[in-house]
Structure 1
Amino acid sequence: MNSDLYEAAAKGVIEPFNQLAIDRQLGSLVIHKKNSVLHVNIIASYTQNKEGESVSTKFVELVLETCPSLLLQVNAKGDSPLHVAARYGHAAVVGALIEFAEKQPGQELESGVKSTTRYMLGMKNDEEDTALHEAVQSGSLDVVEILLGADPAFPYSANGSGETPLYLAAARGHKKISAEILQKCPLAAHEGPNGKTALHAAVCSYSYSYGVIELLLDRKKSLTRERDQHGWTPLHYAAYIGRFGPLILRADKSAALIADEDRKMTALHLAAGQGEFWIVKQIIDHCPECCELVDDRGWNVLHFAMVSFYKSDLKRLLNNYPIVRNLIFDKDVKGNPPFHVLAAVCRHPYYYGYDIVPWKIAKGYYQAVNKQNISVEHINLYGFPELEKEIKELAKADGNGQYPAGVIKTNKEKEEKTVIYSYWKDLDEDVIGMEKASEYHLVVAALIATVTFAAAFTLPGGYKSDTEDGPNRGTAILSKNAAFQVFVISDAIAMVLSLSAVFVHFILSLKFFKKFIFLFIFALSFTLVAMAAMIVAFVTGTYAMLATPSLWLAIVTCIIGLSFFFLVIFMYYKVISKAKEEEMEDED
């Protein structure tokens, strides 16, 4: 096909092809990809407006009248004109092709004579796609309606990828197309690759497929129990991804009792392993009995929750669901109760766990041992490499396969979003540098304690003379002054807190207490509050002495003293703003 004929075919000009039709050469007129005149015209019309589409339809009709064989002629990829028209959403052209096919004699096959229309609808290209497959993938509802109306009883099978038209529509979130297929073909096949169904595809779709799921659950409710090659139901995928679970559960709550084939995990296990608290809540609300099920390692829902849940979600789960709380002492095949798993992940469940469950229960789980006679306390102090390695293997994400994000998500992935006490040794060495910082903090705390102790016996305003008679002899002169009273109280607070900080730093020097990083945090807090109390003591003490003889001097002195707090606030906001700037630079 030369350039002039190609341009004529693209524009839908029939005159240059009349002589070729007479000479019966029109069928052999193709370009390098074996696209015929019809292929070229339909593809070129894709970018034209409605008027262009009308011209294209007329051109198709004229070409087919002069050369009917072009109706079923395929290009190098096995695409017939109907394939191309469906792919590009040319509803008018699809209608013209089917109308012309209805007028043609049937196609003689080994199995007998088949109407040209049915034969054309069943033609598959190299990808084994029919025209309906192409129309669904393009999202053209008009074309789908025409194709289904041409032969509603046609049994559309899967393409080369194992996808049926209904599966493709569900995977793309096409609710109207799915509804059209189910209405015109109630028995339409729903299969997809690897044993998946249209409902699997809709749940896994990143398109807006809520309506498709509702439709499939209404028309094909039995799909809730269909499994893929791994034994996963649609609810398994919903739980793992974290969406659409309630929809499926309302249609069939018994789906929550189905375990997969690989690890014997239920949807509840998957949701808990991925940290999906609200999906776990919905599953338990609809099917509480599934909490009793365990996977092939003997892990129940609480084992998974200990690994991946936020602290607040874990507390809600245990407080609101007694059936889950009763699983605290249930052991897996290696004898590990759920809090052993938490200890292996968090390495400080002593503090973490006591805040989750009541004291009486906490004491029990903390001393409970597994088959290797290892307790939570032992794991906290010395670790449990075997269990830690197992959890790391389960948390590995490779981006593909049955568990693209890993079987579980560990707390390490949530450290930036929630306060969870992790491996304290790492926190000590990498974040705070406790040992060196403790030395400096001890000096500061001791200095504050010394100054405030001395100030308590060198009171502003002095004492009443020892020569005076009466019970008030030797008492503070300003004892009834409000500012003086605040001075005494704040001075006492500063001294007590600074001495407490000194005590904490003293015991932190002992090897046994070094792992208790929260003690260091307490000491730091005590010292900071003691500093603030010392400033208040200074301000109120000077005010008490200066207010009567010189009020303006007392006020100026107070302002200078209180500037300490303004400087601290200023430095705080500067640090925060600088941290945000560095974070933005890292993201860039």
Structure 2
Amino acid sequence: MATEKQFLRSLTMEKPQRSAMKRLERRLSFQGIEKPRFLRIEEREEEMGVTDERKKKKKKNKNKGPAQKRGDSPLHLACRSGDLLQVREILFNGEQSGNLRGLISGQNIEGETPIYVAAETGQVELVRELLKHSDVQSASIKAKNGFDAFHIAVKEDHVDVLTELMSSLPESAMTVGPSNVTALDTAANQGHIDVVNLLLETNASLAKITRNNGKTVLHVAARQGHVEVVRALLAKEPGLNFRSDRKGQAAIHMAVKGQNVDVVTELVRPDPSVVNLEDNKGNSALHIATSKGRSAMVESLLKVEGVNVNACNKQGETALDISAKKRSEDITSLLRRAGAVAASDRAAPASPAKQLTQTVSEIKHDVHTQLQQTHRTGVHVNRIKKRLKKLHTAGLNNAINSSTVVAVLIATIAFAAIFTLPGQYVEEPTPGYRLGDAYIATSAPFVVFFVADSLALFISLAVVVAQTSIVVVEHEAKKRMVSIINKRSWWLTLVTTAMGTIIMFATLGSMCYCIVYQKMEQGNKRKLRRSFGGSQSRSLSGFDSDSDVHNSSMYVL
């Protein structure tokens, strides 16, 4: 015990003695003595770096009252306490000082304005007084909870305050809160039937406004089980019964999730066909009530005329299949007494809507398959196109190379032919010639040959230059060049074939004529040789031998 007293006294020591205190604490911890709670808090604050100023601030906040914590102004406090005289005095002083608008629109830490505080506490006289100096903008300022003065009055069921607000500022009824929640949504969610009737009488179109999730005010009232609100809404807007949210669920789907059977009765009274509405998953109200285990709801739904007890959802399940999966014997017995069967036992054909859905799905699948096949075919065609282009380019290059080789050969032969003339040259002074001239230089055939040979040389050189400079780079130039070569080649082939044919037949005809003529001459000479005698025959024999040599040389040529 003495050790504990020393330990407690050490807590009041100055900072230089803290090290000794820590050693003592470590010793006590080894002895199994638990540290006091305030000491552990102090150590944790020291570790976190809490300064003395922060400690003082915390103590100061403890001494603050609720008004100081909320940051209320004097006008807030007067409205919260319901002091009408003080409110008027503050407003009068603010009007004299020119700060009236700032007083009316002033917000505390929670974002609440004076009129918000007055509406929340149900101070009708204060609200009336504040409305004299307010407009729609200042009255619609929202607190941090997303509500303005009108919405908070709806939530607190202050009908008199709402009447006063709507008489002065009718536009305030159209304001929305978080998630696009209207004042009518708030009243329906709370079950304030007087507020709902007041809002519907003022503006029945509020019932048609949906939340961000697509739910109407009827969805909210049906889910919460407020029968009177549901009845009032359907009396004003019967079409709300068939409005669905983003999940495809109508108010009947929301009602069977609750516990109030009377809500379902009210919903099916205007039009019993609403009981067979399906959501996006194909579930009717009977499917949902069965999955939630609401036997009373299932029994109420089965009493509705025209209910489809064997409807299948998109998973191919009936209400009986769901109850069997959930192992709910009470609901299973109710469904069997109503004639429900499992989906596997059904022999009825699918509904037209489902058949249409299935057909559309098959068409979409076929179209998707065709598109994929078209894409694959296009890819294959592109590959073939690239290969053909490569082959075509290779063919063009081969044709260009071949024509280049031919042009080079022609140029070489033409160049050599100019400097290699046939016949003999003048070696001795001769009239009309110069030494070294060819005897055929002045003949007309040689001039024609020289001109043609020069043309062949320069044309071949031009073709070689064009193909090695322009055609090699330009693909279109290659195609044009090959097209020109192909067209000219046909004409050259035809002309060459015709000329060759003429020359061949002329040569063959000349040879035949020479041979026949030689044979005829030899025959005539033999006849002459027989007609003449000895000496004459010998003299003729020398002549015959000379003519034979001449004819044989002609034959050889």
Q: Which has the higher contact order (CA 8 A, sep 6+)?
A: 1
From the CA coordinates, give the structure whose radius of gyration is larger: 2
TM-score (norm 1): 0.44
TM-score (norm 2): 0.46
Q: Identify the structure with the greater helix proportion.
A: 2
